[in-house]
Amino acid sequence: MSAPQIVWLRRDLRLADQPAFHAAAQAGPVIPVYVLDDETAGDRAIGGAARWWLHHSLESLSRSLAQRHSRIVLRRGDAVRELAKLVEETGAEAVHALRHYEPWWRKAQGKLAGQVDLRLYDGNYLMPPGAVTTNGGDPYKIYTPFAKAVLDYMPPRECLPEPETLHSPDRWPDSDDLADWNLLPTRPDWSGGIAAFWQVGEAAAHERLEEWSGDVAAYADARNQPSQDGSSRLSPHLHWGEISPAQIWHRLDGRRGEGWATYAKELIWRDYAQNVICQFPGYASESYRDGYAGLWRNPNRGHLIAEELQAWQRGMTGYPIVDAGMRQLWQTGWMHNRVRMIAASFLVKHLLIDWRHGERWFWDCLVDADFANNAVNWQWVAGTGVDSNMFVRIMAPLSQSEKFDAAGYIREYVPELADLPDDQIHDPPDDCRGDYPVKVVGHREARERALSAWRAAKEEG
Ligand SMILES: Cc1cc2nc3c(=O)[nH]c(=O)nc-3n(C[C@H](O)[C@H](O)[C@H](O)COP(=O)(O)OP(=O)(O)OC[C@H]3O[C@@H](n4cnc5c(N)ncnc54)[C@H](O)[C@@H]3O)c2cc1C
């Protein structure tokens, strides 16, 4: 029998359109491996809600593999060390993996390539970062010309089928037991709402795509309405690689119209974010525009900031749309995109709290927490990114709530306000709030404070 081939799984937990599986299956018996590595990513180890997803996704992929008389070998520790050990133990010829672009994975890939025959493939993005460049040959920093350049190359490559057969090795190496990894919360178990909201795994991703494919025509408007199921909700499936963007593209392309055109551009945002972190690996912790250092320094507000940050995290700011979003995040591990923008803007501008606190909270609470997407969007909202909204454009949460008809959404996630009529629910009068808190800061006051902090920071340089 030919030498085994290791498939190193990370955020690519699928069988179809998975080039590493495809290549390995053609080369010999396949040993799929997932290494739970809390060391290599440093302070970017997988967050709480994402660990919940990972558990179920590994379980789902294991079931699919079992139907093919295969399995996943689970190991824990430094991924490079564990994979090099496994190659030695099994006599594997090569390690096949999808290329990942988070800075820690790029380093690990380089290190592993020095020790074993590492074969890397692209497959989690429409195009690999760096595939399109400006006329001068530089990577794009700004989304709009990047998107235009990517669109010129679309549609993406054809999708690969699932491997027809997966041969097993003569002997399976030892594996950890998934349950021993304790990826699921226990004391307390806060995952009930998440479990009720999501179906995890490759089959569930395709079911969701099928269910949603009829709605893409309405996407351009519906995606902004948090009370509607108007967006695809594919983000955790995409993040964990249970489905590829090429599969989505080929399934939905041909549905001409504004809905599809808008949706395609959102998929390209995902590629853009990878393109940004490849250029700026410190993007999740460093602001990329000058003049912001003083803005969130707040020397006299330390105590207040801790309290206000907690009010924001718990959905108790007194702004119903913000609180509905923050509670949706806590309950389901996901938040509607329009509301993510409103809640993020509220933190950095109304509360004048550094965007990095918000980025961290999202990292821990989102099932789709993604190093690139999270950092790029936080910096976009905060105004600090290489391409971003201007800080002085301050979103008004109360009018956004009305404009995008969030009454149903607020009733769902802020039950204290469920009985209020539509004309009161976006901004309830103080005497109609019952147990629901009054506003942590008034909108006009917050706006003026943010603008004057901005002017002061600019003067300071
Ligand atoms: C402050 C903030 C933080 C965010 N953090 C994350 C994150 O950690 N992970 C994440 O996947 N998305 C993040 N987003 C982007 C966006 O909110 C989610 O991708 C989207 O809400 C997911 O819902 P959906 O699948 O229904 O999206 P759809 O509207 O159906 O879009 C389809 C897909 O396109 C991609 N996409 C859509 N919008 C964006 C965007 N603005 N940036 C990058 N990709 C996008 C997603 O993969 C999404 O699944 C963040 C946005 C903000 C404002």
Query: What residue's CA is closest to ligand 1, atom 40?
Result: 269
Strand order in the sheet with 73-76: 73-76, 30-36, 5-9, 94-98, 118-121
Q: Which of 77, 38, 33 is nearest to 58 (CA)?
A: 33
Each domain of the chain, given as residue ranges in start order, spans 1-124, 126-157+201-279, 302-460
**DSSP H/E element including 5:** strand 5-9
Over the stretch 374-413, which tens digit does the pLDDT of each residue have?
Answer: 999 999 999 999 999 889 999 999 999 999 999 999 999 9
Question: Annotated binding residues, as ranges?
Answer: 219, 231-235, 263, 368-370
Q: Over the stretch 242-270, which tens digit does the pLDDT of each residue have? A: 999 999 999 998 777 889 999 999 999 99
Distance (angstroms) between ligand 1 centre and the Cα of 373 equals 7
How sure is the predictor about 290, in pLDDT bands with cuts at 50, 70 and 90?
Answer: confident
Average pLDDT (161-181) is: 96
Q: Do 44 and 371 contact (CB within 8 A), yes or no? A: yes
CATH code of 302-460, in short, is: 1.10.579.10
CATH of domain 1-124: 3.40.50.620
Q: Is the pLDDT of residue 145 over 70?
A: yes
Which helix (H) or strand (E) is 237 found in, with range?
helix 235-239
Cα distance between residue 405 and residue 426, in whole Å = 9
Of 337, 49, 369, which is closest to residue 192 (Cα–Cα)?
Answer: 49
Nearest to 438 by CA among 417, 452, 418: 417
Dist. CA 171 → ligand 1 center (Å): 42
pLDDT of residue 300: 66
d(CA 246, CA 159): 7
The secondary element (H helix, E strand) that includes residue 97 is strand 94-98
pLDDT of 214-238, one tens digit each? 999 999 999 999 999 999 999 999 9
Q: Which fold has domain 126-157+201-279?
A: 1.25.40
Q: Choose which residue among 266, 322, 365, 381 to substitute to test ligand 1 binding: the one with the highest number of ligand atoms within 8 A of its C-beta.
A: 266
Prediction ipTM score: 0.99
pLDDT for 114 beyond 80: yes
**Residue 362 to residue 356: CA distance in whole angstroms:** 10
Torsion of the alpha carbons at 16, 20, 23 and 28, rounded to the nearest 10: -100
